Amino acid sequence: MGVQEREMSSSAGRRLLFLLLLSFLCFSGDDRSLNGDIAYDPMDPDGNVTIKWDFIIFDGNHYTVLVSIYNYQLYRHIEIPGWRLGWTWPKHEAIWDMRGAESTNQGDCSRFKVSTLPHCCDPSPTIIDLPLGAPYNFRTDNCCRGGVLSSLAQDPSHIQASFKMVIDSRNVTDEANPKPYNFTLGVPGYTCSNATKVAASKFKTDTERTTQALDMGSDLLILAVQGISNARDDEKYSRLKEQSSDSDGSQNPLLCTQHMCPISVHWHVKVSYKDYWRVKMTITNYNMNKNYSDWNLVLQHPNLRSLLQIFSFNYHPLLQYGSLNDTGVFWGIKHYNDMLLNYGDNGNVQSEMLLHKDTEEFTFKGGWPFPRRISFNGHDCVMPPPDLYPSLPKGYSMASSPLLPDVTVFLSTIFLSVVLVLL
C-alpha cells in the first residue's frame, strides 16, 4: 500500500471527486429469474445441497441411520427458519427414535401396541433441526443450529447438518421394495432428485482410525438443486402482499416507501484518483421486524480482478478462470457487522473498496462503473439496462479535463426497483 498511499496523497489536491450513485431497491419473489426457464447458475454452476443416508448400526430389528445434509453452494446459504427435510415412506415405516432433529408431527401410532410409542408414524414426515439450546442428550455432531447452513465461501465449517434416526429393519433395505421418495428440502425454490444408491461412507474417528457405514447396498443419496419457474407479468406484483409474511405465516411489515422493497443496495462511486478509484457500498434493510444474520452480497464487475483493498467487509472471489475474475462474494465481519438489523439508525451495513484502474477498459461511460449483476443472500436481481445508469454531465470529458482543483460532480440519484428472486 506504500505506492498507493503516495499516489493518493500526492494527488489529494488534484483528484476528481465524483458522486455517481445508484440504488438497487428490491423485493423478494419465488422465481429465480422473471424470464428464466433453466436451473443453471453461471456464478455457481456446480452448486447443490447433498443429502445422504448412511446405515450405521443394525440390532436385528432396527437400523440406526445417519442423515447428513451438505450445502455445496458457493454463496447461497440456508437461512432462518432453516431446512425442513421431508419424504414419503414406501410402506408406512416408523421412526422409533431421533437425535439431532425432530419430526414436526408424530402421526397416528395406534397400530403399535407398546408402552413407548415411536417418535414418528407419519407416512410423510417432516424433519427439522433442533435449536441452539437443545439438551445434550438429544444432540449429535453438526446439529442444533436451527436449520441454518452456511455457504462454502462464507463459512465452510458450518455447511453440514446431521441427525440420527432409528427405523424399522424391514422394507427400507430390501432390494425388492421401493426406496423412500418425494424428498423435499423445505426451502422455497429447491427441488430434490430421486434417491440413488451409493457406496457406504467412511468416517474418521481419530487421527488413526477410520470406520465405515454398513454396506447394505442401499445407502441413499439425494441432490437438491435450485429450480426456476416462469412468472407472468400479472403474477410478479401480485406476490408483493406475500412478501410481507415469513414462511411461518408471521407478519413482517416493511417501511412504507415508494418502492416497498425490503432491501436497498446503494452503489456510490466516490473518488477517482489518477490510478485508482473508490466505491462505497451501503445495504439498507427496510424490514421493520426482520434481521438478516450472516448476510452476503454477490456482485459481478469487470474491475474486481483489480480490487486492492476492502474495508469493513470480508471478500472472496468466485469463478476465477485464468485472468478472468469479475465476480465476488462480500459478507460482514463476525461480531461487527455480520447481522443486518431491521430498519432504523443501525439498519444498514456499509463498506468502501479501492480498485486499480485498468487503463485498457476503465471508463465512466455507459454505466461501466456499476455492477453487471447483484444478488443479496442468493436472491438474484434483475439489473437495469446501461442507459438507465447515472452518467457524467453531457460534454464532460475525462481526457480533456485537467487534474487541477477538486471537482465535485453532483448527479441525480436514480432509484431502480430491481427484483430479487428467492430460490
pLDDT of residue 331: 97
The set of cell numbers assigned to 170 is 424391514
- Domain covering 48-226 in this structure, CATH number: 2.60.40.290
pLDDT digits (tens, 9 = 90+) for 399-412: 444 332 333 233 33
pLDDT digits (tens, 9 = 90+) for 288-316: 999 999 999 999 999 999 999 999 999 99
pLDDT of residue 365: 80
Residue, of 12 and 74, whose pLDDT is higher: 74
Q: Average pLDDT over the chain, rounded to whole?
A: 77
Residue labelled with grid coordinates 440420527: 164
Of the pLDDT bands very low, low, confident and very high (cuts 50, 70, 90), residue 122 is very high
pLDDT of residue 54: 85
Residue, of 324 and 156, whose pLDDT is higher: 156
Stretch 163-173: mean pLDDT: 77
CA distance 394 to 409: 12
Stretch 163-169: mean pLDDT: 88
Asked if the model's pLDDT at residue 422 lies above 50, the reply is no
Asked if 2-33+235-421 and 48-226 have one fold, the answer is yes
- Contacts of residue 335, defined as CB under 8 A and 6 or more positions apart, other chains included, come to none
Query: 2-33+235-421 domain in CATH 3.40.50.300?
Result: no
pLDDT digits (tens, 9 = 90+) for 46-55: 889 999 988 8
Residue, of 8 and 298, whose pLDDT is higher: 298
pTM of the model: 0.79
Q: DSSP states of 306-346 as a string?
A: GEEEEESEEEEEE--BTTB--EEEEEEPTTTTSEEPSSSTT
Residue pair 82/146 in contact (Cβ under 8 Å)? The answer is yes
Asked if the model's pLDDT at residue 5 lies above 80, the reply is no
pLDDT digits (tens, 9 = 90+) for 304-360: 999 999 999 999 998 777 778 899 999 999 999 999 999 999 999 999 999 999 888
pLDDT of residue 370: 87
Helices and strands, counts by H and E, the chain:
3, 27
Asked if the model's pLDDT at residue 202 lies above 70, the reply is no
Length in residues, the chain: 423
Stretch 125-151: mean pLDDT: 95
CA distance 161 to 140: 9
Task: Identify the bridge partners of residue 373 per DSSP, sorted by sequence position.
Answer: 300
Domain residue spans of the chain: 2-33+235-421, 48-226
pLDDT of residue 102: 97
Of the pLDDT bands very low, low, confident and very high (cuts 50, 70, 90), residue 41 is confident
pLDDT digits (tens, 9 = 90+) for 72-111: 999 999 999 999 999 999 888 899 999 999 999 999 999 9
pLDDT digits (tens, 9 = 90+) for 367-405: 888 888 889 998 876 676 767 777 666 655 554 443 323
Amino acid code (one letter) for 59:
D
Of the pLDDT bands very low, low, confident and very high (cuts 50, 70, 90), residue 34 is very low
Stretch 31-59: mean pLDDT: 71
Residue labelled with grid coordinates 436451473: 39
**Most confident residue range from 65-74, 196-205, 228-237:** 65-74
Lowest model confidence (mean pLDDT) among 109-123, 217-231, 260-274: 217-231
pLDDT of residue 320: 75
- Best CA proximity match to 418, nearest among 79, 30, 34: 34
pLDDT of residue 295: 95
In 3-state terms, what secondary structure has residue 245?
strand
Residue, of 404 and 234, whose pLDDT is higher: 234
Asked if the model's pLDDT at residue 163 lies above 90, the reply is yes
